[in-house]
Amino acid sequence: MPAPSLDGHPDGQTSIRSLDEARRQAEGCRRCDLWANATRTVFGEGPPSVEGATAEGATAEWTAAEWTAGGPRLMLVGEQPGDREDRAGHPFVGPAGAVLNRALAEAGIDRARVYLTNAVKHFKNEPRGKRRLHRRPDAGEIDRCRWWLELERRFVRPQVIVALGASAARALTGHAVTISRVRGRVLTLDATGVAPAARLLVTTHPSYILRQRDDDARRRILEAMITDLVLAARQK
């Protein structure tokens, strides 16, 4: 099958041969309109050696020392970059990232050994005075950006993927997911024409914790997320 253009769907072969090349091409992505109000594309990031990964060499590129405490090759997928991520160009560096850092630390997972990305690579926002307020990406925007997520899966070759929230779960599965129905279960993501198979766990997005007004609720939801991350890290 001939390689599809960036306007095509990521099934079958692709002319993009490495994670670095995918990141460079994503900088000019126009698959949806979200780029127009965003500062930049925010692509995924992971351990140093995975950055040069190719489809053929991704597994070998991850040295044993860079895996999560001897556990699985782990990818975390959020919804989209926030305001700080959009300005900095890196995923999970804002308030939600601070919550995620805490959850990872309490789960015994080194963030530097995890590949972090988002379902949507541009910040969808609504200007409100000097502020830019988060807007949830719709199903069409998530589906169009799935092209890049599939390529990340292709080159990173995660053994286990954790979807942080419903938008990430939709991007990975291709359909709506109710978190409460699948939480705590280890699901299977089948191989696609681009990406290999992986195990999938679904948990809440860290921003959901920030939206809770009650301290007890925040702690309860955080503890549940930590439990989910521990389960992910224990997969072999």
Distance CA 69, CA 152 (A): 22
78-116 burial code (b ≥16 CB/10 A, e <16): bbbbbbebbbbebbbbbebbebbeebbeebebebebbbb
pTM of the complete model:
0.88
Residue 14: band (very low, low, confident or very high) from pLDDT cuts 50, 70, 90: low
- pLDDT tens digit sequence for 218-227: 999 999 999 9
Q: pLDDT tens for residues 96-119? A: 999 999 999 999 999 999 999 999
Strand order in the sheet with 160-164: 115-118, 74-78, 160-164, 198-203, 187-189
The pLDDT confidence band at residue 233, using thresholds 50, 70 and 90, is very high
Of residues 126 and 115, more confidence is placed in 115
Spell 11-27 as b/e; 16+ CB within 10 A means b: eeebebebbeebbebbe
Q: Is the CB of residue 156 less than 8 Å from the CB of residue 19?
A: yes
Question: Which CATH architecture describes the domain 31-233?
Answer: 3-Layer(aba) Sandwich (3.40)
Model confidence pLDDT, tens digit, residues 18-56: 999 999 999 999 999 999 999 999 999 998 867 767 766
Q: What is the pLDDT of residue 193?
A: 82
Tell me what the pLDDT averaged over the chain comes to: 87
Confidence band of 205 (pLDDT split at 50, 70, 90): very high
pLDDT above 70: residue 62: no
Q: Is the pLDDT of residue 84 over 70?
A: yes
pLDDT at 134 over 50: yes
- pLDDT at residue 57, as a whole number: 54
Q: How high is the pLDDT of residue 11?
A: 42
